[in-house]
C-alpha cells in the first residue's frame, strides 16, 4: 500500500473508526455484546455505567448500523461483530506489546510474519528472561534447563549453537521426538559438527525430522507441549542471546505451533539420501 492509498483510506474511515474506538462507553458496550446479546440491566452490571449513558451510546450505534434495531435484547449487527472482534484483537495485541515493550523494541519484529503479529495478543501471558551482569547466559541456561525435561520438541532454528545440539541429542537418545526447521547455513554447521553418519542414523530412526527453509527465518522458536520460547534478532541483523520470551500459557504455545507450521509449509523435508548434496 503506498502513501496515497493509505491517506485516502484514512480519509474514508478515520471518522468512523474514531467513533467506535475513542469512546470508553462505546468500546465497552461492543466488547460486552461480543459475548452475546444483553439487555440494559446486564450491560449496566458488566460495564459499571448508568442506564442513560448506555442508552444514549446504543442509540448512536444503532444509527450507524453497529447494533441491531432494538428487540428485548441488544445485539451486534454483522458489521458491528467484525469491528468488535477487531477492537478486542487491538486491545490484546497492544497489551502484549506494552507488557514487554523493551523486548519487542530491541528486536526486529518486522521479521515475524504479519499474520502472526496480528494475533500477538496470544502472547499476553508470557515473561521475558533477560541476562544480568552476574548471569550473562541466564536466557540460554533457563531454556536448556526447561528443555532437559521434555520429550517432544519442535524448533525453528535460524542459528546454530552446540549446546543446543547436546540437548537435542540427549532427547533423541532417551527416545524423544524432535522436529527442526533450519536454514541452509545452520544445516551446514550441523553436518560439520555431528558428521554425516551420525546425522543419518538419527534421521533413519525417524525420531528426528529436519526441514530446510530458504525463506527468511527471523525467529528462533522452541515448542513443547508445556512451553514456548521465542528468541529474536536485533535490528542490526545479529541474533540476540540476551533475552528470550517464555510462556507456559496454552494460547502462546498454540501461537508457536502455528508459526512452526507456517515455516514448515515453506520448507523442504531433508532427505537422508541427499544429505551430501547440501
Binding site for another protein (CB under 8 A): 1, 3, 6-7, 9-10, 12-14, 16-18, 21-22, 24, 27-28, 31-32, 35, 46, 65, 77-79, 81-83, 85-86, 88-95, 97-98, 101, 104-105, 107-110, 114-115, 117-119, 124, 235
Confirm if 242 and 139 have CB atoms less than 8 A apart. Answer: yes
Residue 141 Cβ, how far from another protein at the closest point, in Å?
Answer: 27
Output 86 or 207, the one with its CB closest to another protein: 86
Q: In what helix (H) or strand (E) does residue 21 lie, and over which residues does it extend? A: helix 3-21
Residue 253 Cβ, how far from another protein at the closest point, in Å?
Answer: 16
Coil/strand/helix, residue 98: helix
Output 36 or 195, the one with its CB closest to another protein: 36
Residue 34, CA distances (Å) to 81, 88, 124 in order: 7, 9, 20
Q: Which of 135, 154, 153, 116 is nearest to 251 (CA)?
A: 116
Output 95 or 238, the one with its CB closest to another protein: 95
Cα 160 to Cα 37: distance, rounded to the nearest angstrom: 53
Residue 62 Cβ, how far from another protein at the closest point, in Å?
Answer: 12
3-21 and 24-34 helices, crossing angle to 10°: 80
Residue 235 Cβ, how far from another protein at the closest point, in Å?
Answer: 7
Output 46 or 150, the one with its CB closest to another protein: 46
Amino acid at each position: 500500500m503506498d502513501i496515497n492509498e493509505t491517506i485516502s483510506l484514512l480519509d474514508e474511515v478515520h471518522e468512523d473508526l474514531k467513533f467506535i474506538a475513542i469512546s470508553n462507553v462505546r468500546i465497552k458496550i461492543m466488547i460486552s455484546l461480543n459475548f452475546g446479546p444483553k439487555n440494559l440491566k446486564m450491560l449496566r452490571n458488566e460495564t459499571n455505567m448508568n442506564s442513560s449513558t448506555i442508552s444514549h451510546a446504543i442509540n448512536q450505534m444503532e444509527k450507524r448500523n453497529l447494533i441491531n434495531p432494538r428487540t428485548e435484547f441488544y445485539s451486534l449487527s454483522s458489521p458491528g461483530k467484525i469491528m468488535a472482534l477487531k477492537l478486542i484483537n487491538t486491545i490484546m495485541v497492544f497489551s502484549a506489546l506494552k507488557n514487554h515493550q523493551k523486548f519487542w523494541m530491541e528486536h526486529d519484529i518486522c521479521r515475524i510474519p504479519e499474520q502472526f503479529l496480528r494475533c500477538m495478543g496470544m502472547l499476553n501471558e508470557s515473561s521475558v528472561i533477560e541476562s544480568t551482569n552476574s548471569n550473562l547466559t541466564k536466557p540460554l541456561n533457563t531454556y536448556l534447563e526447561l528443555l532437559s525435561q521434555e520429550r517432544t520438541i519442535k524448533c525453528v532454528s535460524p542459528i546454530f549453537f552446540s549446546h543446543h545440539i547436546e540437548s537435542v541429542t540427549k532427547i533423541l537418545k532417551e527416545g524423544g521426538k524432535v522436529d527442526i526447521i533450519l536454514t541452509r547455513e545452520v544445516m551446514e554447521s550441523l553436518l560439520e559438527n555431528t558428521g554425516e553418519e551420525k546425522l543419518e542414523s538419527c534421521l533413519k530412526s525417524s525420531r528426528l525430522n529436519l526441514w530446510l527453509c530458504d525463506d527468511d527465518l527471523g525467529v528462533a522458536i522452541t515448542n513443547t507441549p508445556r512451553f514456548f520460547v521465542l528468541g529474536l534478532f536485533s535490528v542490526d541483523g545479529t541474533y540476540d542471546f540476551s533475552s528470550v520470551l517464555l510462556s507456559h500459557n496454552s494460547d502462546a504455545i498454540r501461537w508457536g505451533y502455528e508459526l512452526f507450521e507456517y515455516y514448515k509449509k515453506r520448507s523442504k523435508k531433508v532427505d537422508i539420501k541427499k544429505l551430501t548434496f547440501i
